[in-house]
Amino acid sequence: GRRVVVTGAASGIGHAVTARLLDLGAVVHTLDRNEPTLPVDRHVPVDLADRASIDAALAALDDRYDVLLNVAGVPGTAPSDVVMRVNTFAVRHLSEAFLDRLDEGGSVVVVSSTAGFGWPERLDTIKELLATDTYEDAAAWWSRNPQEGNAYNFSKEASTVYVMTMGLAFRELGLRINAVLPGPVETPILADFEESMGKDILDGVRELLGGHATAEDIADAVLFLASDDARWVNGHALIVDGGVSGSVLTGLV
């Protein structure tokens, strides 16, 4: 079986991805602050807000894998520095560490968000952020460079741009990196989104679609990007939201 590392496997989308992988006979190693409820091959507890904790977790993993799935994330109700650390810097730190650990044909998938599709407007700021080594300094970066809106949107814009900028670097090593941008998904984090984004927006989306995505709807898109069927898809941000973003971007809603 393929050898896969999944972050955020203890809940929601990460749990669904892990369940699918175990069904497919993959060897699954998980990183999360909480213990997954599924019978994974190895779980390494980690605090993704803390670089030293990630490095310790990397030391507890094996040297070679086929796939890294960065699924873990925190909502905008968490402090801004934690949001930036977990949603942007941990994704970057782990993905970069896996450049050396993935076998040829391997790939990374990052779960970003449609909350991050506004990146073109802040591209210069995001590139500046990604060019600096600001993991430890994430809170300070945020206060030096206050951004409009909450840290969640910005953290997801940055992780989306990170994926897009890394496509060729991965390609050079025979690897790929892609992002999935889900719209609202029925997982425990949704209650926090109601608080940070407002219930009206989420209710509006639910009404347009007749419901929110399930964790499995997103897991299947993640696994498609990780599979050989997506072998020429690289540096791509795949919106998986039932169609809402298209209408928003073209001004239909």
Confirm whether 152 is a catalytic residue.
yes
Extended strands (E) in the chain: 3-7, 27-32, 42-45, 65-70, 102-111, 176-182, 237-240
Distance (Å) of CA 74 to CA 1, 21, 55, 188: 30, 23, 20, 11
d(CA 35, CA 17): 15
Catalytic residue among 65, 135, 152, 162: 152
d(CA 207, CA 199): 12
Nearer to ligand NAI by Cβ, of 40 and 86: the residue is: 86
Nearer to ligand NAI by Cβ, of 106 and 182: the residue is: 182
Contact call for residue 160 and ligand NAI (CB under 6 A): no
Q: What is the dihedral of CA 225, 231, 233, 239, to 10 degrees?
A: -20
Contact call for residue 187 and ligand NAI (CB under 6 A): yes
Side chain identity at residue 221, one-letter code? A
Return the ∠ at Cα 88 (arms to 218 and 29), rounded to 5°.
60
Contact call for residue 10 and ligand NAI (CB under 6 A): yes
Number of residues forming the site for ligand NAI (CB under 6 A) = 28
Using CB under 6 A as the criterion, what x/- string covers residues 74-103 for binding ligand NAI? x-----------x-----------------
Q: How far is the CB of 217 from ligand NAI (least distance, A)?
A: 11
Name the site residues for ligand NAI (rule: CB under 6 A).
8, 10-14, 32-34, 46-49, 71-74, 86, 111, 113, 182, 184-185, 187-190, 193
Residues annotated as catalytic (active site), given as ranges: 152
